Amino acid sequence: MANIQWILGVEPANLPSEWRATVKELFLQETGEVYADVSIASLPIPAWDGNLLLVDMDRYPDPSSFKGLMWALPFLEDGVRIAAFALQAEYQGFGWGSLAWNHLVGVCHANQKNFIQLEVKASNDGAIKFYRTRGLEVKKHLENYYKSGLGYMMNGPVPSNSNSN
């Protein structure tokens, strides 16, 4: 029986390169985005409560233990931006994403952050539904953000209770 957990991550630049290779593969498989190793390494995600890795603790720290991530960063004075949020396909739809989201809401409360913002492909119906259900709305159309087509900038207020959904 796998022992799956969200754990706190390190800065992308300090991830072992084998781990960054699995991150790169995840982004390609689940978002269709092609990242170079150096682009992943230079993502400005601090080692903080908004940097989460989904891992199988029975395999950790082997790179094969890596199942997903939520990489968020403090944004402007009172916001948080989710720069990346993806789980391997076989781990989607079981509540792991909701768990990370609720954790992030708690992080926002602890750090006086009032809104959450992110970019998503306009074609990504599943993720857009996930965010809408959690109070985010499309605020801008992004014409040149994704190579593959239209993007949306979504944001919304942090709910007052982290278990409100």
Ligand X SMILES: CC(C)(COP(=O)(O)OP(=O)(O)OC[C@H]1O[C@@H](n2cnc3c(N)ncnc32)[C@H](O)[C@@H]1OP(=O)(O)O)[C@@H](O)C(=O)NCCC(=O)NCCS
State the minimum distance, in angstroms, from the CB of residue 140 to ligand X.
Answer: 14
Q: Which is nearer to ligand X, 14 or 161 (CB)?
A: 161
What residue ranges bind ligand X (CB under 6 A)? 30-31, 85-87, 92-98, 118, 120, 124, 126-127, 129-130, 133
State the minimum distance, in angstroms, from the CB of residue 22 to ligand X.
Answer: 14
Q: In degrees, to the nearest 5, what angle opens at C-alpha 81 toward C-alphas 76 and 86?
A: 170
* Cis amide prior to 61 (ω within 30 degrees): yes
Q: Which is nearer to ligand X, 19 or 96 (CB)?
A: 96
Q: Which is nearer to ligand X, 112 or 163 (CB)?
A: 163
CA–CA distance, 32 with 105 (Å, rounded to integer): 27
Q: Which is nearer to ligand X, 14 or 98 (CB)?
A: 98
Residue nearest to ligand X (CB): 97
CA–CA distance, 101 with 159 (Å, rounded to integer): 11
CA–CA distance, 89 with 57 (Å, rounded to integer): 18
26-41 burial: b if 16+ Cβ within 10 Å, else e: bbeebbebebeeeebb
Rg of the chain in Å (alpha carbons): 15
State the minimum distance, in angstroms, from the CB of residue 68 to ligand X.
Answer: 6
State the minimum distance, in angstroms, from the CB of residue 98 to ligand X.
Answer: 3
State the minimum distance, in angstroms, from the CB of residue 42 to ligand X.
Answer: 19
CA–CA distance, 21 with 90 (Å, rounded to integer): 19
Q: Which is nearer to ligand X, 14 or 129 (CB)?
A: 129
